[in-house]
Structure 1
């Protein structure tokens, strides 16, 4: 971000006119080494487009995008003209803030300056300043805006009295980081004031770090001894910054409209809109901002002019706010207010009109939407570029896939690192599948109706193709994803967006791809890895329809065994794979959570993803070794490397067959130490399959599938039935259910959340669930009800410390007490329950403080996927870094060791439910560290159990000791390979030894080193 220093301020300047002032500004940038003399032409060109006068005597001249070549280094120069300069638009300028920026950094300065404009007398103070410090003080005063957004609102809270509402509001402000614990104590001691219409206000300055307003509404209006309550407002007042008055004004404005009595029925988004100043009766229109640099001065001025024209023509000046933003509603006719919103490309603008004439309101709103869609005086493109001029929707990534790249292929006998996506190893010649090029005309003379008929027919054909793929899909996951694709094609919004383009004269092909591209890019622009990967599904669907429209054949695979290499692969591509021919899969893009990786695992195809663009340059027919265990691709391997791979594959196939035969036997080491091997499930319907594969229970049920499968939060009966399905299939085996784990990176459509710069470090997991305790309470009640006397383990995700655990456990204890009391009343005796409570260790702080958490839980389950990415600061979905996110890194292993030590010291057990649990090299290390349970995908259960049976505890502990002594994950893997070569028995010896000791293993004690079975209630 640009910042101002004392040296950037030039005082007491004088200019004969505005051109002279610009020349001096350009000279100052040149003298400071920020730009070349040519930058002056860029400043003049910008003024020719639109005046950069901002208000309060301030202008912010900056160059055009074309003049960025003249910028040497980002910088700012501030020139003060005490006598003023007559600007070309008739305003008088006393201060020039001249910017040389190589990107869009000037927008940060612009947003800061818009706050300056709201202060009275700022123009006079800037003109009369005699020191640089005075100017800096005026311009650089940091004002922390007050907080009022979706995170500070809590709607429909099941409270029974006023104190509960106060506590909930105070807790919401603490969760938002605006207050500390002292504020909560002060609020409990405060005396709320009735504002009228059932709305009450409680406020305090104690332990406030930022002014903020929380509003809590009950499920329905409460009649209490204090009076009627429809809402409780908690105001945190920052005595130093102030800024709380606008919050009060928003609340009082809402009451002036008489909206107090209706508050209990509003959703958080509706309440926020009302508080932002949007009338409950306002007509609304929304549009996505496509301008490359957002609402900077020029497009903002065009928008303001459109609003004023709407007022002149229809008697209505629309208001404006940003979707999901707490900036409030501003007049679209105020330049400073519009600039102050800081709207960026990709954000949604919401216009509102509250006039008495509905038709006039709608006409005014239509004018605003049209103006934004037209670009507000700038040329705009959809959210991702598409080459209409070349009559093809190819993007940069697709151009690579069609061979338009100069990327060099890897050398012979080289190893390309990638992300392990699906275990196994394969050797075969490769076939590089390149995405088809769809050539078509962007305009059509046939008419919109005719083009619409073509599009409808092609969509229907594509849906029929997908339904046929669903019917012959291998596995429930594939069928589910392909069904989702088929539903995408029925999305009316996609067709509506395409129809708008058809009406503008575009062809069916161009209109369809524009709609697909915009929808997919809107997801990608959320900076959300999971949504970005799902955007690939949209494009996969889009290409299918384009193929029908243009009669473009899909790539034809060889009829001989091969390794498929492609940039990325969509679910429908995976569904067409002939698993008798495709030996392995390599993609240039993607992460371990992409659908291509998920489906490759479901088909049992060895696969690596994220291998980089160089693999696309490999010549067809070149031999590859795909190692889906370690995430590596060997290109044109030497004879010795190939021989080692063939030996490994033969051994792997032998082990797979033997493992399947003994899948029901317990996972007991050669010296009688038992380790539970259980299943990770993403759906209750797969519990029976896990049991068939030898699972001794479920170590991780991702319960969010229940919530994602419904358009609204599932009720108690729905959840109880879903969880009961898994418990029935387990036939008394234990079930570890992770409570709802959604948030910034995994949003629910009916639980809107504000956009976060880093959703992986934001409001998610248990910290999100505790903001909606009623949702967590319903889920806990459903799990306990479904379980009855059967073993159920409740596990909380993303717990960072003991405080969060206690908040969640209090809900479990209360719900359990209520259920037990009801059961005893009905049956005359207390129920028999087998319940354990634990936490997921996936945040380093939880592992580091495990000793303080362990006394209050029955178990830990280490989620190595997230623990690894948080410990190593590497996003495991990152296209280039994810291959380095290895759970065998000694730092991760140290955290697991600490967790096990703390748990066993307090009689708790420890499981591992991340990908590391099924890593062949890691199994021995985890057993040696003392892990009691390994939770893996159902397909991996037989092999993991077999791997445990190959070990003895002394060998496993030696593996753990050696691994902990290494400096890097690469060294860990090398050291473990060396150990294997030195002394570990061969596969045949292990198989024989395991068979000979099987009877002894069954008779041996299943107790772990702490003296209890990890599945017994503690």
Structure 2
């Protein structure tokens, strides 16, 4: 780095090919909205300082840093595209905000392989964020190495160096297109508010002639910004540029709101042509009957005035803090249950309770003489009116979150606890319920929910689906006229509320529900028994588990054994590898949990989408096609050796079977089998455990007969076999629905595997997700599979399915499925041949 006469030569912070900024695969960077610059496609794993300077901004998720040089130039170094969504995973910051750094100093280490698999692109923009003050001239290089000259930065002739250094009161602005699904509603607005709070600068959003402070959730939502709208962001203050780049990034990162694809609730209320039936929109499926109990909101009496301002302010503050505490508890429980949707909903509620616009309006009303109750209600209603005036259904639904907070705070202020007594089997109706209402009603054993308003994308709908509580929304105001306690039928799947069902209809609903519950009880009661087809063919139904605790659940639910123990549970989320003794004990615990049943233990399967921090593997352009599974033994044979030694020490050894993942050729199997024999000899064992091969790449399926000659059994992993056969990443958002293991090509590979195994008298199991699909059970049996390894809670259901099938009939019909044209056609044929009752 050189700095002569205000010309600063920056050195390359990364090694790799250089790209023009316009080539960056991100519209915000490529458009220059954040400033001028270049990009590097990194080949190394460490970001270095491009000059002497001070770190003025560190991204919360550690993926980006901004450095200010002595002449005032501010350089944003952003590692990868969309890496903010990694939440810091794969990044290790070596400096903190405010640190003085020198040219070439290491600033951040990153896991190139892990990030490449998880983010949109590794291309890393290097942006001069205050390029309005400086001119930038990239060096004429196609590829750079760390420390080589990268670009020259000079103060524009119209701006003095002194002014460039003086950043007090600086203003910065940029335009950005909103990519959040559904626009800037509650959760994205909470993200923007949180981002703005990390800076001292004042930030505003401008849209359609209106502006809102970025620290106001209500103000942001009130702008009515929709998906695809272009907005302007402005920041004013000492860290305006850093604030701007963070806000632009936050505004342009799409948050997945798959539920909003269900926005049928935006349609007007549909009037049923059937007498005695209200037609709405299904928010959560199910069929129930029972008395309809209407819930009403809190009505406040007239405000008589004469209040002490300080007393009312204290009352409101205390009520708000109590409700915040309740929401924090709800959040903590949601995190414990790993319920991300519920967590998101109440995190947004917590942010609303801290909204300065809302709190300011309530406080101002109290200071003008209102009671705390009326001030809070009026402030909420005013903000709801803002959202409703936008005229977009999604924003109208989010006003329901505000009404939830209105009710919760009013209950505390009035001392009115929620004491609604529901009769047994009640179906609850309301104009519109709130998320906290839903949680209370669920706890009180309500069997169904119906609302006059609301939508299928509302937070209440999301919660209802998660709890399996039948729910219909948008039934219209006629719902509120139904007499209290009237017996109704809620056919949520079809969006119907039947107001005057006959006794026969009631009996039918009860019969359907009773039959479902009886079926589940019968399945559970018989889960411990063997699964035999009607013509006497035995099918082993085992369980996929990842710990001894899950093995215990499987055993209690009737598993015939463990069909797949994923040993990765021992290796992930830790800084060092488990030693041999820890592994042996973990495997022994699983065997002990399974009584006298056999346990199939898969050797460590890392690589691809599963990486270990303490076991770095070489960087790969496509890790899913790289050093996965058994291929790890090629580069780290010590890891597999240690695991095999631990497995050979469990007791009784004859109940332990070893399964090798990602085998693609016979030599791999023979090498491991030879090593296993050597280890058995070392330990004085006269007989080695059974050794099986996973069939999860097409090569293994095509070589099944040759593999079966040397393996004791074959186990088909349909998840990977599907993605490798169809050339579709099963984690790809746009393709995941098409990665269907009932595709005829997959069925042909399964058939070939079973035929090859039969040549040598070997048995074949399926441990992928297809084994847990009841629709696929007859197909797999028909193709020759004799073991199904499923989710522990599905054991009873799959065993019951087996007992209703004729294996000979399955064999006859399954062959015809191989000639069908698509997975959809196969599923249709399965429904016809073997309907699910």
TMscore range, shorter length = 0.5 to 0.7
Tell me which of 74, 79, 91 is aligned to 1:306: 74
C-alpha distance in 1, partners of 2:437/2:609? 25
| Aligned residue number for residue 934 of structure 1 | 788
Maintained 8 Å contact 1:739/1:796: yes
The Cα shift of 1:974 comes to 3.5
Other-structure match for 2:58 = 287
CA distance in 1, matches of 2:554, 2:141: 55
Q: 741, 745, 765: which is aligned to 1:887?
A: 741
Deviations 1:947-988 (A, max 9, x none): 22222221121331343343333433433343358xx9xx9x
2:690 to 824, 830, 835: 835
- Whether the 8 Å contact between 1:909 and 1:932 is mirrored in structure 2 is yes
Asked whether 1:779 is paired with 2:643, we answer: yes
SS in 2 for 1:971: helix
Alpha carbons 2:716, 2:768 under 8 Å: kept: yes
Over 3 Å counting, the alpha-carbon distance change for 1:747 and 1:102 in structure 2 is closer
> Is the contact made by 1:736 and 1:794 (CA closer than 8 Å) also made in structure 2?
yes
Mapped partners of 1:861, 1:398: distance in 2: 34
User: How many residues were matched structurally?
Assistant: 606
Cα distance, 1:708–1:894 mapped onto 2, change above 3 Å: same
1:705 maps to 569
Is 2:690 aligned against 1:802?
Answer: no
The match for 2:776 is 922
2:377 aligns with none
Measure, in 2, the Cα distance between the counterparts of 1:692 and 1:820.
33
How far 1:699 sits from its partner (Å)?
Answer: 0.8
Alpha-carbon spacing, 1:791–1:578, altered in 2? closer, same or farther (3 Å): same
Q: Is 2:699 the counterpart of 1:859?
A: no
Q: Please provide the CA RMSD for this pair.
A: 7.3
Shift of 1:927: 0.8
**How far 1:891 moved relative to its partner?**
2.9
Q: What residue is the counterpart of 1:901 in the other structure?
A: 755
Matched-pair contact (CA < 8 Å) for 1:736–1:792: yes
The alignment partner of 1:723 has SS state of helix
Q: Where does the alignment leave 5 or more consecutive residues of structure 2 unmatched?
A: 1-7, 10-19, 77-98, 113-121, 129-133, 148-163, 194-211, 227-256, 293-316, 361-400, 412-416, 480-487
Question: In the alignment, is the contact (CA less than 8 A) between 1:667 and 1:676 conserved in 2?
Answer: yes
The within-5 A match list for 1:464-863 is: 464-465=329-330, 469=333, 481=338, 560=425, 577-578=442-443, 580-581=445-446, 633-636=493-496, 651-708=515-572, 710-748=574-612, 765-767=629-631, 771-787=635-651, 789-797=653-661, 799=662, 802-803=664-665, 806-807=667-668, 810=671, 813-814=674-675, 816-817=676-677, 819-824=679-684, 830-841=685-696, 843-863=697-717
Following superposition, the deviation at residue 463 of structure 1 comes to: 6.0
Q: 1:100 to 1:582 in 2, by over 3 A?
A: same
| Counterpart position of 2:797 | 943
Structure 2 CA distance, aligned partners of 1:642 and 1:834?
A: 58
Is 1:391 matched with 2:217? yes
Q: Distance in 2 between matches of 1:868 and 1:416?
A: 39
Native 8 Å contact 1:861 1:913 kept in 2:
yes
Task: Answer whether contact 2:48 2:108 (CA < 8 A) is retained.
Answer: no
Inter-partner Cα distance in structure 1 for 2:31 and 2:710: 47
1:291 touches 1:375 (CA, 8 Å); kept in 2? no
**Residues 848 and 303 (structure 1 numbering): CA distance in 2 closer, same or farther, change over 3 Å?**
farther
**Cα distance, 1:685 vs. partner?**
0.8
**CA, structure 1 residues 331+865, in 2 after alignment: closer, same or farther (shift >3 Å)?**
closer
Q: Structure 1 residue 953 and structure 2 residue 817: aligned?
A: no
Native 8 Å contact 2:259 2:457 kept in 1: no
Shift in Å, 1:883: 5.2
Displacement of 1:901 in angstroms is 1.6
Q: CA deviation at 1:549?
A: 14
CA distance in 2, matches of 1:966, 1:641: 40
Contact 1:563 1:624 in 2 (8 A): no
Deviation string 1:704-747 (CA, Å, 9 cap, x unpaired) is 33334545433333322222211101123111223334445455
- The alignment's TM-score, normalised by the length of structure 1, stands at 0.45
Structure 1 residues 105-124: aligned runs within 5 Å: 107=30
1:928 Cα deviation (Å)?
0.9
Partner of 1:971: 825
Q: What displacement does 1:107 show?
A: 4.3
Query: Within 2, Cα distance between the matches of 1:874 and 1:429?
Result: 47
Distance 1:286 1:323 in 2: 18
The answer as to whether partners of 1:924 and 1:956 remain within 8 angstroms in 2 is yes
- Structure 1 spans left out of the alignment, 5+ residues: 1-53, 56-96, 118-144, 150-271, 344-349, 352-367, 432-451, 471-477, 491-497, 510-542, 609-614, 627-632, 825-829, 988-1018
**Counterpart contact for 1:959–1:976, Cα < 8 Å:** no
Question: Take 2:140 and 2:179, find their aligned partners in 1: how far apart are those partners?
Answer: 21
How far the C-alpha of 1:323 sits from its partner, in A, is 3.9
Contact 2:744 2:819 in 1 (8 A): yes
**CA shift digits 1:221-267 (9 cap, x unpaired):** xxxxxxxxxxxxxxxxxxxxxxxxxxxxxxxxxxxxxxxxxxxxxxx
* Structure 1 residues 937 and 833: alpha-carbon distance in aligned structure 2, compared to 1, 3 A threshold: same
Name the residue aligned to 1:104.
27
Q: Secondary structure at the match of 2:537?
A: coil
How far off its partner does 1:847 sit? 2.9
SS in structure 2 opposite 1:794? strand
SS of equivalent residue, structure 1 residue 694: coil
Shift in Å at residue 926 of structure 1? 1.2
Aligned runs of 1:985-1000 on 2, under 5 Å?
none
When structure 1 is superposed on structure 2, of 333-342 and 921-930 the one drifting more is 333-342
SS in structure 2 at match of 1:664: coil
Q: Distance in 1 between matches of 2:629 and 2:463?
A: 22
Does the 8 Å CA contact 1:425/1:649 hold for their aligned counterparts?
Answer: no
Conserved 8 A contact 1:680-1:938: yes
Secondary structure, aligned partner of 1:785: coil
Pairwise CA distance, 1:562: 6.4
User: Counterpart of 1:978 in 2: which secondary structure?
Assistant: helix
Shift of 1:930: 0.6
Match of 1:910 in 2: 764
Alpha-carbon distance change, 851 to 923 in structure 1, aligned in 2, over 3 angstroms: same
- In 2, Cα distance between the equivalents of 1:765 and 1:625? 48
Post-superposition CA distance 1:655-704 (Å, at most 9, x none)? 33333333222112232221111112233212223222221101122223
Deviation, structure 1 residue 650 = 5.3
Distance in 2, Cα, partners of 1:807 & 1:729? 32
- 1:107-153: CA deviation from partner (whole Å, max 9, x where unpaired): 4999xx999x9xxxxxxxxxxxxxxxxxxxxxxxxxxx99955xxxx
Separation (CA, whole Å) in 2 of partners of 1:574 and 1:875:
37
After superposition, residues 303-452 of structure 1 pair within 5 angstroms as 305-306=73-74, 316-317=102-103, 323-324=110-111, 378=174, 386-387=188-189, 388=193, 389=212, 390-392=216-218, 397=257, 406=266, 426=287
Task: Tell me if structure 2 keeps the 8 A contact 1:625–1:645.
Answer: no
- Following the alignment from structure 1 to structure 2, what is the Cα–Cα distance between the partners of residues 833 and 380? 64
Does the CA-based 8 Å contact 1:701-1:738 persist in structure 2?
yes
